[in-house]
Structure 1
Amino acid sequence: MKKILVSGCLYGWHVRYDDGDIPCLDKRFLKWKEEGRLIPVCPEVFGGLTIPRPDSQRVGSKVIACTGVDVTKEYELGAIEAVRLAKENDVVVCIMKQDSPSCGSKYIYDGTFTDTKIEGQGRAVQLLRESGFVVLDENDLDKIEKLIEEN
Structure 2
Amino acid sequence: MTKATKLLTALPPPQRRSLMELAREVSFPEDARIFEAGGRADRFWVVRSGAVSLVQQVTSVQRVTVASLGAGDLLGWSWLFPPYQWDFGAEAFSPVRAYEFEAQPVLKLCEEDPALGVTLVRIVAEILAHRLEMTRGRLLDQYGTHRHRSL
The higher radius of gyration belongs to 2
Structure having the larger proportion of residues in strand: 2
TM-score of the alignment, normalized to the shorter chain, above 0.5: no
Structure having the larger proportion of residues in helix: 2
Greater relative contact order (Cα < 8 A, sep 6+): 2
TM-score after normalising by structure 1: 0.26
TM-score after normalising by structure 2: 0.26
